[in-house]
Amino acid sequence: MSNLEKYTNAFVTCFEVDEETAKRLKYQDISAWDSVGHMGLIAALEEAFDIMMETDDIIDLSSFEKGKEILSKYGIEF
Amino acid sequence: MELNRQNIRTYSLLGSHRTFGQIALEFPKIDDKIVILAADQCSPAGLEYFRDQYPDHYYNVGIAEQNLVGIAAGLAKEGFKPFVTAQATFSTTRCFDQIKINMGYMNFGIKIVGLSAGLAIGQYGATHMSMEDIALTRAIPNMVVLSPADCTETAKALLAAAKDSRPTYIRLSGWMNNPIVYKEDYDFEIGKAITLKEGSDVAIIATGTMVYNSLKAAKILEEQGVSVKVVDMHTIKPLDKQAVLECSKSKLLVTVEEHSVIGGLGSAVAEEIALYKEKSRHLIIGVEDHYVKPGEYNYLVKQVGLSAEQVAERILKVL
């Protein structure tokens, strides 16, 4: 599975949305991406990529696209 | 419920206070008589999901902690199993008489979930710090006092309490992104301490957030040739006397807690070992007997000398 597939899959699984919806998502666009859902997403991404994110990055991850930019700091290429 | 790496990390990110809200969703599966009463702490306790899914099982009594326990007692008398929640300091000191009479004396199995215990919300000052909640609650007959080490253990303690009939205080300490002690599911039993690490020179008995710091302190000490045992005393009352007895055989017994040095875990252990014929010296590490000035959580932990490095240093000084 490619990094993009793993990344997208985390959104699809956590928020129970299809891939196309996942790729357009921003924080609080849907009820599932609230503060609790956000922490579930972070945990899923950390598990998928075997990383531990810093607090500032956890807060800054405000959209699907922004998340890709943040994960690049951890050596994950898309 | 299954505890796996992903939800353990999610709970850690949420902090113990909001982990409560997630675990509460399991309560109706355990017992339909469980109800939750909050003193205007729905959001801090992460109870929005519970409130929305089980509106007939959730009551917001407003910022009125004495009524919180009083109403819970009435519900308990009618056969319900109430969990009540408020900030730790307000849910213990402000309604101490209600806890003594309605929980202790009446022996109603009400569960108090004390949010943000210790220094967690120390930015609001001494009014919001709970340094005496263990001392107060453990002095009341019939009470069980739980103090989980991390958010995994918070989940385990809450689930165990939901199945237990005794009046219980559950002290939730630490803040968001709470360090993880238990990375996978494990067996938890009220009153049964957990040895996390064996060692022969020093035995550290820790509770709450200080379990993680004590493990780190042990690592520092090990690098200097000191062998350290670390025990997670998640239940302050009833105390695991056998675990204390075993720890008292080391050269130095240390207790570490994010609570006053008066009346907490250190005192409970000291009371237990007082009559032992042979015992090691006992170093009580906690918050000294003074009010702490306001500040952010991690800053305050260092201000009161409870960082791993400071704990290790204190131990080395008396070893």
Please give the single-letter amino acid code of residue B52. D
- Assigned domain for B186 exists: no
3-state secondary structure of B243: helix
For B:49-88, CB contacts with A below 8 A are 49
Task: Write down the pLDDT at residue B2.
Answer: 87
Task: Write down the pLDDT at residue A78.
Answer: 87
Quote the number of domains for chain B: 2
Does residue B35 share a domain with residue B111? yes
User: Measured between CB atoms, which of A40, A47, A55 is closest to B177?
Assistant: A55
C-alpha B298/C-alpha B286 separation (Å) is 15
Q: Are B143 and B121 in contact (CB under 8 A)?
A: no
Task: Write down the pLDDT at residue B1.
Answer: 84
Q: Please indicate whether, in this complex, the C-beta atoms of B46 and A36 are within 8 angstroms of each other.
A: yes
B7 in A contact zone (CB under 8 Å): yes
Mean pLDDT of A45-57: 95
Does residue B271 share a domain with residue B142? no
- Assigned domain for B182 exists: no
> Which residues in chain B have their CB less than 8 angstroms from residue A14's CB?
none
- The reported pTM is 0.95
Mean pLDDT of A40-53: 96
- CATH (domain of A28): 1.10.1200.10
Give the pLDDT confidence of B18-41 residue by residue, as tens digits.
Answer: 999 999 999 999 999 999 999 999
Size (chain A), residues: 78
- Assigned domain for A78 exists: no
- Assigned domain for A77 exists: no
- Assigned domain for B181 exists: no
3-state secondary structure of A51: coil
Listed as ranges, residues in chain B with pLDDT below 70 are none
Which domain range does residue A22 map to?
A: 3-72
> Which residues in chain B have their CB less than 8 angstroms from residue A36's CB?
14, 18, 21-22, 46, 49
Which domain range does residue B156 map to?
A: 5-173
What is chain A's mean pLDDT, rounded?
95
DSSP string, B4-73: -HHHHHHHHHH-HHHHHHHHHTTHHHH-TTEEEEESS-TTTTT-HHHHHH-GGGEEE--S-HHHHHHHHH
